[in-house]
Amino acid sequence: MSNDVKNFPKDAFDRITVDGKHAEKISKPSLNFWQDAWLRIRKNKGAIVSMFILIFLVVMAFVGPYMVPHDPENVRVSHANLPPKVPGLEKLGIFDGEGKLGSKTVNLYELKKVEEYYWFGTDSLGRDLFSRLWKGTQVSLYIAFVAAIIDMIIGVIYGGISGYYGGRVDDIMQRVVEVLIGIPTLVIVILMIMIMEPGIWSIIIAITITGWIGMSRIVRGQVLKFKNQEFVLAAKTLGASDSRIIGKHLLPNIMAIVIINIMFTIPTAIFFEAFLSFIGLGLQAPHASLGTLINDGYKFIQYQPHILFFPAFILSLLMIAFNLIGDGLRDALDPKMKD
């Protein structure tokens, strides 16, 4: 046996010198934070499906109104209260324009001699619900996004300052927050809406007026956690300025939580908008949002359930999608974070 070993040609071997530098080398390609998050969220089916649904809804919100030849604000009383009718599907016995009139089921399109197809039917002023629905989705999304971004900006700044500077500043700022938390949100939102000129911006302002508090508390907590950790201490020792510490060290670390939180703020804002519209404090006509559409539809639930169904469905879908994406992101970005 030993002879065999000796018989190996010398040049069959290479000498390896283990370099200390490579000792910690990771063979897989290095992933940054976001790539890593993506890898994890990709496994979350719910979140991925939700993402596609969300993208679809956002695209539809912009494209939808142009897919049909009807203007969302065009009042045409002779076409009022038509049920959905879709070419093709009508032969299957669904979406064929049949609706209840009194106790009978009749084809309202034939009754009213309407040639056009209204995919999702029309409302009580004869406006096309398909285009109105997507226009409304657009407005709801707009309100929600803007409100969420404002919440985030105020929340991050307030929470950041409070947490970073600590001491007296923090004490005062937290007392203010404590007072604000005691205010019943709904009450303030309603009062604000009543005082301001009605419109999209008053809704946004009313939603954000107390909405940022949650974000600020979370950001403060995170900043408090990180600011005493070694890497910040190290940076400080090396003479980094406050802005550098905040910008380079703290912000990237709390970003994940901020984003997760936004994903939960958006559906809250959508809900608030719909809620305000439902109690009649929402948008000025003729603008539509999902809330005003649901409010319109509620009155007709017995005979024209479609007027309620579509906006309620889209609203629920949006909320579910945002929540699932939020959940997914939370699991992916910060697996240790809980409710």
Partner 1 sequence: MKSRKLMVLMSFLLVLSVFLAACGGKKDDAAPADKGEDKGTTGEANEAQVLNLIETAEIPSVDSSIAEDAVGFNVLNNIMEGLYRLDQDSLPVPAMAEGEPEISEDGLTYTFKIRDAQWSNGTPVTAHDFVFAWQRAVNPDTASPYGPYLMAGMVKNAAEIGEGKAELADLGIKAEDDKTLVVELVRPVPYFLSLMSFGTFYPLNEEFVTEQGDKYASNSDTMIYNGPFQLTEWDGTGNSWKYVKNENYWDADTVKLDEINVNVVKEGSTGVNLYEKGQIDRVILSAEYAMQYADNPEIVNEIETALFYFKMNQERNGKATPLANENVRKAIARAFNKEELADAILANGSIAANFLVPKDFTFDPSGKDFRDYSDEFALYNVEEAQEYWAKALEELGTDKVTIEILGGDTENAKKQQEWFKSELERNLEGLTINLKEVPFNVRLELDNSSDYDIQSAGWGADFQDPISFIELFITGSPQNGMGYSNPEYDKLVEETKTTLANDPEARFEAFAKAEKILLEDDQAIVPTYQRGRMVLMKPYVKGIVTHPFGADYSYKWMYIEGKE
Partner 2 sequence: MAKYIIKRVAYMFISLFLIASFTFVLMKLLPGSPLASAEKLSVEQREVIYEKYGLNDPIPVQYVRYMGNLAKGDFGVSFQFKKADVTTLIVSKLKYSMILGAQALVFGTIVGIVLGMIAALKQNTIWDYGSTVIAILGVSIPSFVFAVMLQYVFAVHWEFFDVGLWNSWKSSVLPSIALAMGPIAIAARFIRTEMIEVLSSDYIMLAKAKGASWLEIAFKHAFRNALIPLITVLGPVAAGLLTGSLVVEQIFAIPGIGEQFVKSINSNDFAVIMGTTMFFSVFLIVIILIVDILYGIIDPRIRLSGGGK
Binding residues vs partner 1 (CB under 8 A) = 73-75, 77-78, 80-81, 100-102, 124-125, 194, 198, 280, 284-286, 295, 298-303
Binding part of the chain for partner 2, among 69-77, 87-95, 130-138, 307-315 by CB under 8 A, reads 307-315
DSSP, collapsed to helix, strand or coil, labels residue 101 as: strand
If you search the block for the tokens 């956690």, which residue do you land on?
Answer: 225
Q: Which does 125 bind (CB under 5 to 8 A by kind): partner 1, partner 2, none?
A: partner 1
Structure tokens at 15: 């000498």
Q: Which residues pair with 105 in a beta bridge?
A: 100
Nearest residue (CB) to partner 1, 77 versus 176: 77
Q: Which does 74 bind (CB under 5 to 8 A by kind): partner 1, partner 2, none?
A: partner 1
If you search the block for the tokens 């359930």, which residue do you land on?
Answer: 305
Question: Within 10 Å of residue 118's Cβ, how many Cβ atoms?
Answer: 26
DSSP, collapsed to helix, strand or coil, labels residue 282 as: coil
Closest CA to 111 of 130, 123, 97: 97
Nearest residue (CB) to partner 1, 221 versus 286: 286
Q: Which of 178, 233, 242, 285 is in the footprint of partner 2 by CB under 8 A?
A: 178
Q: Scan residues 2-61 and list those touching partner 2 (CB under 8 A).
A: none
Nearest residue (CB) to partner 1, 202 versus 222: 202
Nearest residue (CB) to partner 2, 142 versus 275: 275
Nearest residue (CB) to partner 1, 80 versus 205: 80
* In the complex, least distance from residue 266 CB atom to partner 2, rounded to whole angstroms: 12
Q: Scan residues 220-259 and list those touching partner 2 (CB under 8 A).
A: 221
By CB under 8 A, residue 163 contacts partner 2 = no
* In the complex, least distance from residue 190 CB atom to partner 1, rounded to whole angstroms: 12
By CB under 8 A, residue 323 contacts partner 2 = yes
49-57 CB contacts, 8 Å cutoff, 24+ apart: 49/324, 50/320, 50/321, 50/322, 50/324, 50/325, 50/328, 51/321, 51/325, 53/317, 53/321, 54/318, 54/321, 54/322, 54/325, 57/137, 57/141, 57/314, 57/317, 57/318, 57/321
